[in-house]
Structures are given as C-alpha cells and as structure tokens.
Amino acid sequence: MQNEALISQTLPSASKHPGVDDYIKIRQRSLDICSYLETEDFVVQPIVDVSPPKWHLAHTTWFFETFILIPFSPGYQVFNDQYNYIFNSYYETVGKRVMRTDRGNLSRPGIRDVFDYRKHVDEAMSGFLKNNLMSDEHSALLALGLQHEEQHQELLYSDIKYILGHNPLFPVYNQSETIDLLTPVDKTFWIDIAEGIYNIGNAGGGFSFDNEHGRHKVFLQGYSIQSELVSSAHFIQFIEDGGYRDFSHWHAEGWDWVKNNQIIAPLYMHKIDGKWHRYTMAGLQEVNPSQPILHLSFYEASAFAHWAGCRLPTEFEWEASAKHFHWGQCWEWTNSAYLPYPGFKTAPGAIGEYNGKFMINQMVLRGASKATAPGHSRMTYRNFFHPHLQWQFSGIRLAK
C-alpha cells in the first residue's frame, strides 16, 4: 500500500509549456517510487555504494537548484545554505561535501524537510520554465537534469531493494512490482556476426551522454553471440558444479573477492530447505529456473562464461549485434573497460565532472533493465560499475 500520508505533496499542475510538463512528470516518478516506503526506510545506508532514498530525492533537487536556478533565475532564494554541503555528490567544482559513507548519518534534515525542499525548487523551476525563453544552455542543462533524475530513479530501485533485501524479515516493497521478474528464457541459439568494420557510438538525434560521443569505426573479427540471457537454471548448474570453489574460472582479483567476502551465490539468492530462493521487490520467492539470472558482479559473469566454455562480448560486439536480439531486461556485463572514445573531451566547469573522471577501473554494461526509466535506453548507452558490484539489475549474455 502506498504511503499517501507521508508523500502528500503535489507538484505544480501541468501546463501548455512542454518543458514544464516533462519536468513535472519526471519529478513525480521519483516520488511514486518512494511512495511504498516507511519513514524509517528513507535514511538507511547499509553499504557505501547504497545511498538512502532521502538523499536521492534531495540530491536530484539540488542539481536543479545549483545548476539552473542559482545562476539563471534572478531573485531565487536558496532553500537552505547547508544543503549544498550535504547533497552535493561528487562535484569538486561546486565545493566541499559530506563523505559518501556518511549519507546514512543524515537523520536531519528529515524526510518532510526534503519534501519541502523539493516543493520549493519545483515551484521555482516551474516559474522559470514558464516565464523565460530557454536558451540553448538552459535547454541543455534541463535535459541533463531530467536525465540525471531518471538515472537516480533506477538507483532508487536498486538501493531500495538492497535496503529491504538485507532486512532479515525480507519485507515486501510492493506486492505487484515486477521490475525484477524477467521474461523467461526461451530457446537459445547463436547469432553469427560477420567480420567487418562497424560504426560505434551515438550518431546524434535525441539526448545522449558525452561518453557516447565520438562515433568511430571498429574492426571486429567474426564472432557469435547468444540470442538470450543466461537463465537461473544454467547459473545454478555453475554453483552446484563448484564454480564458487574453483579458482580456475576466476580472475585473480575476482578469486580474492570470493574468498574475502565468502561469496557462494549471486546477490539476493538463498538456499532454504534445499531449494534456491531469491529476494524480489515483491518479497522472497522460490527461483524460477527459466528466468534470467540477476545481480551478478563482473567477476561472477566472467567466471561463469569461462566455466561455460565461452566469454563475455566486448561492448563493441554487443552494440554491433544488438539489433539482432531482444535486450532491455537487465544490464549486460561486457568484457570492456570503461574508457573514452576517440576525441572525448570533458565540458568546462562542474558539468564536465559527469562522466570523464570515472573512466578508470570500471567495466562497461550495455542495454538497460526493467528498472530503467521509460525512454531512457538506447543501443549506445554506456553504463559502468566497478567489477565487484552486484546490486544493479545485471546479467549475462554469452559470446564466443
């Protein structure tokens, strides 16, 4: 049941201004995602990589206040001078900030204060969008801010699942939620892709991030890629065959990760009374063997591929073949390091910190997940995470 009493605020009403309507729609979706939470859920931070839902709601609001309202809206009154310090994420240009590990210590401001903050900024943004001719700079910042909020909406799902999935009671987020109930794997076959030169990167038209730019040609040897994602049944075979106990399938760092953290299965999977279960946003359920496996680290994805006598595709192979298979169920690990495309340049100022500074020690995932915001997925999208992380909606597609 949605927490209507807690999330009682309403956004400004829709208008004839497309920018305002898009803004209102996207901002409301963040509130909708959080509407199933109890007050206590909003401040929990079990690990450094998981941010409290309250922080996400405030940080996305801070983005619009900091990069649009403060510099471009004359007379705008900052809601609270301290919020720049506690709700800045990683923008060194904008000033000092609370360490990421301390976000869960922010019991104050309370969630109602954060809702008041959102209302203050939303009213100011609606007025700004209605009363000002949007310059190219304003339009670009608005588009980036909305895309940024949509990214955090997916992170909200991931972080909420981690918070509730590590509660020993395995509480239900929403009984009818299906973002982690994927289409069962049907007949799997190999798709052969011919050797050749392929264009990689965004060709323009519509929004894209700077890390997708620099469209370029890549030569690919002939290869094959599977039509379907790896199923839970197939991955359980790996587990039962001792995959987590055999170092020969793992990178050295991956094997250290397995031993040091006592990893025996993908995140949220538990063997209970001899049967595999997994925590979903609808609660703890017995594993459906035909559903794609979820919540794997790169280390696990790579080890499984080695055990299966295959490999992970590179991000270039994935993009070159994506039109031949159905994707978008979950993010798919590739065997490509997150590096800049030819000619990549960071934008000046704080906005330039958005992607480039993270191009080290991370691996690329392609596609999208069912938690990805509507209209936010494309074949050139480059997601990226450190290889040990499991909490994203990530899976495997094999190549050879």
pLDDT of residue 207: 85
Write the CA distances from 265 to 196, 205, 226, 299, integer angstroms. 38, 41, 23, 12
Q: For residues 216 and 112, state if they share a domain.
A: no
CATH number at residue 366: 3.90.1580.10
Q: For residues 161 and 199, state if they share a domain.
A: no
Q: For residues 60 and 109, state if they share a domain.
A: yes
Residue 289 lies in a domain: yes
Q: For residues 146 and 112, state if they share a domain.
A: yes
- How does residue 378 score in pLDDT terms, banded at 50, 70 and 90? very high
Q: How many domains are there within the chain? A: 2
Per residue in 232-267, pLDDT (tens digit) is 999 999 999 999 999 999 999 999 999 999 999 999
Maximum alpha-carbon separation in the chain: 66
Other CB atoms within 10 Å distance of the CB of residue 248:
9
Q: For residues 209 and 266, state if they share a domain.
A: yes
Q: For residues 129 and 239, state if they share a domain.
A: no
Q: For residues 306 and 361, state if they share a domain.
A: yes
Separation between Cα atoms, residue 185 and residue 2, nearest integer Å? 32
> What range does the domain containing 47 cover?
18-165
H helices of the chain, where?
18-34, 53-64, 70-72, 83-87, 111-131, 136-165, 232-240, 252-261, 298-307, 315-321
Q: For residues 356 and 250, state if they share a domain.
A: yes
Per residue in 80-116, pLDDT (tens digit) is 999 988 898 756 555 566 777 788 888 999 999 999 9
Separation between Cα atoms, residue 400 and residue 191, nearest integer Å? 10
Q: For residues 150 and 213, state if they share a domain.
A: no
Last residue of a domain, one of 165, 199, 217: 165
Cut 0.85: pTM above it: yes
Q: For residues 273 and 151, state if they share a domain.
A: no
Q: For residues 291 and 225, state if they share a domain.
A: yes
Per residue in 164-187, pLDDT (tens digit) is 999 999 999 999 999 999 999 999
Region of poorest pLDDT, from 10-19, 172-181, 302-311, 334-343: 10-19
Per residue in 141-157, pLDDT (tens digit) is 898 899 999 999 999 99
Q: For residues 247 and 147, state if they share a domain.
A: no
pLDDT of residue 15: 43
Residue 326 lies in a domain: yes
Residue 170 lies in a domain: no
Other CB atoms within 10 Å distance of the CB of residue 392:
26
Residue 172 lies in a domain: no
Residue 148 lies in a domain: yes
Separation between Cα atoms, residue 203 and residue 57, nearest integer Å? 32
Residue 176 lies in a domain: no
Residue 5 lies in a domain: no
Residue 175 lies in a domain: no
Contact at 8 Å (CB) between 220 and 198?
A: yes
